[in-house]
Amino acid sequence: MGNFLDLALEGKNNLWRYLLGISIVFMVFYGYGMVIPEEVNTWGPLVNYIIQDFSYILYFLAIVFIIKVLHRRSLRSLITPKKKMNWKLMGVGFLLYFLLMFWLSLLPQFITDPSSLSLNPNLLEFFMFLPLLIILVPVQTTSEELLFRGYILQGTGFITRNIFILAVLNGIIFMLPHLANPEVAEAPVIAIMDWIIFGSFMAYITLKSGTLELAIAGHAANNLFISVISNYEGSVFTTPSLLITRVNDSASTMEGDILYIILSLVSAILIPLLYYALVFKVPPIQKYMEMDS
Protein backbone atom coordinates (compact mmCIF):
# COMPACT_ATOMS: atom_id res chain seq x y z
CA MET A 1 0.00 0.00 0.00
CA GLY A 2 2.74 2.41 1.00
CA ASN A 3 4.60 2.20 -2.30
CA PHE A 4 1.48 3.02 -4.32
CA LEU A 5 0.41 5.95 -2.15
CA ASP A 6 3.99 7.21 -1.94
CA LEU A 7 4.07 7.61 -5.72
CA ALA A 8 2.26 10.91 -5.15
CA LEU A 9 5.40 12.19 -3.44
CA GLU A 10 7.18 12.25 -6.80
CA GLY A 11 5.49 15.52 -7.71
CA LYS A 12 3.94 18.66 -6.23
CA ASN A 13 1.02 17.93 -3.92
CA ASN A 14 -0.52 21.16 -2.60
CA LEU A 15 -4.21 20.88 -1.77
CA TRP A 16 -5.07 23.54 -4.34
CA ARG A 17 -3.47 21.43 -7.07
CA TYR A 18 -5.79 18.52 -6.29
CA LEU A 19 -8.87 20.73 -6.09
CA LEU A 20 -7.97 22.45 -9.36
CA GLY A 21 -7.04 19.16 -11.00
CA ILE A 22 -10.37 17.49 -10.19
CA SER A 23 -12.21 20.63 -11.29
CA ILE A 24 -10.39 20.66 -14.64
CA VAL A 25 -11.24 17.02 -15.36
CA PHE A 26 -14.94 17.46 -14.63
CA MET A 27 -15.15 20.82 -16.43
CA VAL A 28 -13.65 19.25 -19.55
CA PHE A 29 -15.90 16.18 -19.34
CA TYR A 30 -19.19 17.93 -18.58
CA GLY A 31 -18.28 21.00 -20.64
CA TYR A 32 -17.95 18.84 -23.73
CA GLY A 33 -21.37 17.35 -23.04
CA MET A 34 -22.90 20.83 -22.90
CA VAL A 35 -21.61 21.83 -26.34
CA ILE A 36 -22.80 18.69 -28.16
CA PRO A 37 -25.70 19.81 -30.38
CA GLU A 38 -29.11 18.36 -29.56
CA GLU A 39 -29.58 17.16 -33.13
CA VAL A 40 -26.76 14.62 -32.60
CA ASN A 41 -29.52 12.15 -31.73
CA THR A 42 -30.73 12.36 -35.33
CA TRP A 43 -27.33 11.53 -36.84
CA GLY A 44 -27.67 7.80 -36.30
CA PRO A 45 -26.72 5.63 -33.30
CA LEU A 46 -23.16 4.94 -34.48
CA VAL A 47 -22.22 8.60 -35.01
CA ASN A 48 -24.07 9.54 -31.83
CA TYR A 49 -22.05 7.02 -29.81
CA ILE A 50 -18.71 8.19 -31.24
CA ILE A 51 -19.50 11.85 -30.51
CA GLN A 52 -20.81 11.13 -27.02
CA ASP A 53 -17.90 8.90 -26.01
CA PHE A 54 -15.29 11.27 -27.38
CA SER A 55 -15.76 12.94 -23.99
CA TYR A 56 -13.76 10.11 -22.39
CA ILE A 57 -10.81 10.76 -24.68
CA LEU A 58 -10.89 14.37 -23.45
CA TYR A 59 -11.30 13.02 -19.90
CA PHE A 60 -8.11 10.99 -20.34
CA LEU A 61 -6.20 13.92 -21.86
CA ALA A 62 -7.31 16.15 -18.98
CA ILE A 63 -5.84 13.65 -16.50
CA VAL A 64 -2.57 13.58 -18.43
CA PHE A 65 -2.52 17.39 -18.36
CA ILE A 66 -3.09 17.78 -14.62
CA ILE A 67 -0.57 15.09 -13.73
CA LYS A 68 2.19 16.42 -15.95
CA VAL A 69 1.52 20.18 -15.68
CA LEU A 70 -0.06 20.67 -12.24
CA HIS A 71 1.72 17.89 -10.34
CA ARG A 72 4.89 17.60 -12.40
CA ARG A 73 5.03 13.81 -12.37
CA SER A 74 4.58 10.93 -14.80
CA LEU A 75 1.31 9.27 -15.74
CA ARG A 76 2.92 5.96 -14.76
CA SER A 77 3.01 7.17 -11.16
CA LEU A 78 -0.80 6.85 -11.09
CA ILE A 79 -0.52 3.18 -12.04
CA THR A 80 2.54 1.37 -10.73
CA PRO A 81 5.81 1.91 -8.83
CA LYS A 82 7.53 -0.38 -11.34
CA LYS A 83 9.30 0.89 -14.42
CA LYS A 84 6.85 -0.71 -16.83
CA MET A 85 3.30 -2.02 -16.93
CA ASN A 86 2.54 -5.65 -16.06
CA TRP A 87 0.45 -6.45 -19.13
CA LYS A 88 0.22 -10.17 -18.30
CA LEU A 89 -1.31 -9.37 -14.92
CA MET A 90 -3.81 -7.06 -16.59
CA GLY A 91 -4.70 -9.73 -19.15
CA VAL A 92 -5.23 -12.38 -16.47
CA GLY A 93 -7.21 -9.91 -14.36
CA PHE A 94 -9.46 -9.02 -17.27
CA LEU A 95 -10.17 -12.66 -18.10
CA LEU A 96 -10.90 -13.54 -14.46
CA TYR A 97 -13.34 -10.68 -13.94
CA PHE A 98 -15.07 -11.30 -17.27
CA LEU A 99 -15.63 -14.97 -16.38
CA LEU A 100 -16.85 -14.04 -12.90
CA MET A 101 -19.40 -11.70 -14.48
CA PHE A 102 -20.69 -14.64 -16.51
CA TRP A 103 -20.79 -17.20 -13.69
CA LEU A 104 -22.12 -14.94 -10.94
CA SER A 105 -24.26 -12.44 -12.83
CA LEU A 106 -25.54 -13.71 -16.17
CA LEU A 107 -25.78 -17.45 -15.48
CA PRO A 108 -27.77 -17.16 -12.20
CA GLN A 109 -30.20 -14.81 -13.91
CA PHE A 110 -30.66 -17.23 -16.78
CA ILE A 111 -31.28 -20.11 -14.36
CA THR A 112 -33.75 -18.24 -12.13
CA ASP A 113 -35.55 -16.17 -14.78
CA PRO A 114 -34.67 -17.19 -18.36
CA SER A 115 -37.50 -15.06 -19.75
CA SER A 116 -35.65 -11.92 -18.62
CA LEU A 117 -32.94 -12.55 -21.23
CA SER A 118 -33.42 -12.26 -24.97
CA LEU A 119 -31.13 -12.24 -28.00
CA ASN A 120 -30.68 -8.88 -29.65
CA PRO A 121 -32.95 -8.94 -32.73
CA ASN A 122 -30.64 -6.54 -34.58
CA LEU A 123 -27.34 -8.42 -34.70
CA LEU A 124 -26.08 -6.38 -37.66
CA GLU A 125 -26.18 -3.21 -35.56
CA PHE A 126 -24.46 -5.07 -32.70
CA PHE A 127 -21.55 -6.16 -34.90
CA MET A 128 -21.24 -2.62 -36.31
CA PHE A 129 -20.83 -1.29 -32.78
CA LEU A 130 -18.56 -4.08 -31.54
CA PRO A 131 -15.17 -2.69 -32.75
CA LEU A 132 -15.99 0.72 -31.24
CA LEU A 133 -17.02 -0.83 -27.94
CA ILE A 134 -13.81 -2.84 -27.71
CA ILE A 135 -11.78 0.37 -28.18
CA LEU A 136 -13.81 3.07 -26.43
CA VAL A 137 -15.10 1.21 -23.36
CA PRO A 138 -11.56 0.52 -22.04
CA VAL A 139 -10.70 4.19 -22.68
CA GLN A 140 -13.65 5.17 -20.48
CA THR A 141 -12.90 2.69 -17.69
CA THR A 142 -9.16 3.35 -17.68
CA SER A 143 -9.79 7.10 -17.47
CA GLU A 144 -12.09 6.57 -14.48
CA GLU A 145 -9.55 4.32 -12.77
CA LEU A 146 -6.76 6.84 -13.32
CA LEU A 147 -8.90 9.53 -11.71
CA PHE A 148 -10.58 7.65 -8.84
CA ARG A 149 -8.26 4.78 -7.87
CA GLY A 150 -5.15 6.62 -9.04
CA TYR A 151 -5.32 10.39 -8.58
CA ILE A 152 -7.99 10.68 -5.87
CA LEU A 153 -6.91 7.57 -3.93
CA GLN A 154 -3.31 8.77 -3.79
CA GLY A 155 -4.52 12.24 -2.82
CA THR A 156 -6.60 10.94 0.11
CA GLY A 157 -3.52 8.97 1.15
CA PHE A 158 -2.18 12.26 2.53
CA ILE A 159 -5.13 12.32 4.97
CA THR A 160 -5.00 8.73 6.26
CA ARG A 161 -3.19 5.47 5.59
CA ASN A 162 -6.00 3.28 6.97
CA ILE A 163 -6.74 0.93 4.07
CA PHE A 164 -10.40 0.38 5.00
CA ILE A 165 -11.17 4.08 5.41
CA LEU A 166 -9.44 4.87 2.11
CA ALA A 167 -11.32 2.09 0.29
CA VAL A 168 -14.79 3.01 1.58
CA LEU A 169 -14.18 6.73 1.09
CA ASN A 170 -13.09 6.06 -2.48
CA GLY A 171 -16.20 3.99 -3.12
CA ILE A 172 -18.42 6.83 -1.91
CA ILE A 173 -16.55 9.39 -4.01
CA PHE A 174 -16.81 7.06 -7.03
CA MET A 175 -20.57 6.81 -6.52
CA LEU A 176 -21.26 10.56 -6.45
CA PRO A 177 -20.79 11.51 -10.14
CA HIS A 178 -22.72 8.38 -11.15
CA LEU A 179 -25.89 9.61 -9.42
CA ALA A 180 -26.92 11.31 -12.67
CA ASN A 181 -27.00 7.93 -14.46
CA PRO A 182 -30.43 6.55 -15.49
CA GLU A 183 -29.94 3.45 -13.29
CA VAL A 184 -30.77 5.57 -10.24
CA ALA A 185 -34.31 6.12 -11.50
CA GLU A 186 -34.75 2.43 -12.35
CA ALA A 187 -33.30 0.81 -9.20
CA PRO A 188 -31.76 3.38 -6.82
CA VAL A 189 -30.82 1.02 -3.97
CA ILE A 190 -29.06 -1.46 -6.23
CA ALA A 191 -27.33 1.21 -8.34
CA ILE A 192 -25.98 3.30 -5.46
CA MET A 193 -24.79 0.32 -3.42
CA ASP A 194 -23.27 -1.31 -6.50
CA TRP A 195 -21.12 1.76 -7.24
CA ILE A 196 -19.99 2.07 -3.63
CA ILE A 197 -19.17 -1.65 -3.37
CA PHE A 198 -17.37 -1.74 -6.72
CA GLY A 199 -15.39 1.42 -6.03
CA SER A 200 -14.43 0.28 -2.53
CA PHE A 201 -13.27 -3.15 -3.67
CA MET A 202 -11.25 -1.73 -6.57
CA ALA A 203 -9.59 0.74 -4.20
CA TYR A 204 -8.85 -2.03 -1.67
CA ILE A 205 -7.40 -4.30 -4.37
CA THR A 206 -5.28 -1.40 -5.65
CA LEU A 207 -3.88 -0.70 -2.19
CA LYS A 208 -3.22 -4.37 -1.41
CA SER A 209 -1.53 -5.06 -4.75
CA GLY A 210 0.34 -1.76 -4.84
CA THR A 211 -0.70 -1.20 -8.45
CA LEU A 212 -3.69 0.13 -10.39
CA GLU A 213 -3.40 -2.61 -13.01
CA LEU A 214 -5.91 -5.03 -11.47
CA ALA A 215 -8.52 -2.29 -11.06
CA ILE A 216 -8.02 -1.17 -14.67
CA ALA A 217 -8.47 -4.77 -15.85
CA GLY A 218 -11.49 -5.47 -13.64
CA HIS A 219 -13.30 -2.25 -14.53
CA ALA A 220 -12.75 -2.81 -18.26
CA ALA A 221 -14.03 -6.39 -17.99
CA ASN A 222 -17.09 -5.28 -16.01
CA ASN A 223 -18.15 -2.57 -18.46
CA LEU A 224 -17.30 -4.56 -21.57
CA PHE A 225 -19.35 -7.49 -20.31
CA ILE A 226 -22.34 -5.20 -19.76
CA SER A 227 -22.01 -3.28 -23.02
CA VAL A 228 -21.07 -6.23 -25.26
CA ILE A 229 -22.58 -9.38 -23.73
CA SER A 230 -25.61 -8.44 -21.64
CA ASN A 231 -26.90 -4.89 -21.33
CA TYR A 232 -30.07 -4.11 -19.42
CA GLU A 233 -33.03 -1.79 -19.74
CA GLY A 234 -32.44 1.63 -18.20
CA SER A 235 -28.65 1.25 -18.36
CA VAL A 236 -26.34 4.20 -18.95
CA PHE A 237 -24.94 2.09 -21.83
CA THR A 238 -27.22 2.84 -24.77
CA THR A 239 -25.28 0.67 -27.22
CA PRO A 240 -26.61 -2.69 -28.49
CA SER A 241 -25.37 -5.80 -26.70
CA LEU A 242 -25.59 -9.45 -27.73
CA LEU A 243 -28.22 -10.14 -25.07
CA ILE A 244 -30.83 -7.80 -23.64
CA THR A 245 -31.78 -8.09 -19.97
CA ARG A 246 -35.18 -7.02 -18.76
CA VAL A 247 -34.92 -5.43 -15.32
CA ASN A 248 -37.52 -6.37 -12.74
CA ASP A 249 -39.72 -3.28 -12.47
CA SER A 250 -40.59 -3.93 -8.82
CA ALA A 251 -36.92 -3.67 -7.84
CA SER A 252 -37.00 0.11 -8.06
CA THR A 253 -38.01 0.50 -4.40
CA MET A 254 -37.15 -1.24 -1.14
CA GLU A 255 -40.85 -2.10 -0.84
CA GLY A 256 -40.62 -3.98 -4.14
CA ASP A 257 -38.87 -7.26 -4.80
CA ILE A 258 -36.54 -7.50 -1.77
CA LEU A 259 -35.17 -10.85 -2.93
CA TYR A 260 -34.12 -9.29 -6.26
CA ILE A 261 -32.34 -6.49 -4.43
CA ILE A 262 -30.57 -8.90 -2.07
CA LEU A 263 -29.43 -11.19 -4.89
CA SER A 264 -28.17 -8.21 -6.91
CA LEU A 265 -26.16 -6.90 -3.95
CA VAL A 266 -24.79 -10.35 -3.14
CA SER A 267 -23.61 -10.63 -6.75
CA ALA A 268 -22.09 -7.12 -6.55
CA ILE A 269 -20.09 -8.21 -3.49
CA LEU A 270 -19.16 -11.73 -4.59
CA ILE A 271 -17.68 -10.82 -7.97
CA PRO A 272 -14.97 -8.39 -6.75
CA LEU A 273 -14.47 -10.47 -3.58
CA LEU A 274 -13.71 -13.61 -5.59
CA TYR A 275 -11.60 -11.52 -7.96
CA TYR A 276 -9.48 -10.51 -4.98
CA ALA A 277 -9.33 -14.07 -3.62
CA LEU A 278 -8.30 -15.59 -6.95
CA VAL A 279 -5.56 -13.05 -7.61
CA PHE A 280 -4.07 -13.06 -4.12
CA LYS A 281 -4.72 -16.61 -2.88
CA VAL A 282 -4.42 -18.96 -5.89
CA PRO A 283 -0.70 -19.67 -6.59
CA PRO A 284 -0.95 -20.21 -10.39
CA ILE A 285 -2.62 -16.81 -10.69
CA GLN A 286 -0.68 -15.14 -7.88
CA LYS A 287 2.58 -15.64 -9.77
CA TYR A 288 1.52 -12.96 -12.27
CA MET A 289 1.71 -10.43 -9.43
CA GLU A 290 5.47 -10.93 -9.31
CA MET A 291 6.08 -10.39 -13.01
CA ASP A 292 7.54 -7.10 -14.21
CA SER A 293 5.88 -7.18 -17.63
pLDDT tens digit sequence for 219-268: 999 999 999 998 876 666 778 899 988 755 444 444 356 777 787 888 99
63: closest CA among 177, 151, 188?
151
Q: How does the average pLDDT of the chain come out, rounded? A: 89
Contact 145, 220 (CB under 8 A): no
The answer to whether residues 96 and 277 touch, using CB atoms and an 8 Å cutoff, is: no
CA separation for the pair 271, 100 (Å, rounded):
6
Indicate whether 49 pLDDT > 80. yes
pLDDT at 194: 94
pLDDT band at 44 (very low <50, low <70, confident <90, very high): confident
Percent of the chain whose pLDDT exceeds 70: 92
Per-residue CA distances from 106 to 98, 174, 276, 284 (Å): 11, 24, 20, 26
Higher pLDDT, 96 or 109: 96
Region 47-60: mean pLDDT is: 92
* pLDDT tens column, 5-32: 999 999 999 999 999 999 999 999 999 9
What distance in Å separates the CA atoms of residue 188 and residue 252, rounded to the nearest whole number?
A: 6
Q: What pLDDT score was predicted for residue 175?
A: 97
pLDDT at 292: 59
Output the pLDDT for position 193: 94
pLDDT given at position 291: 62
* pLDDT of the residue at 66: 98
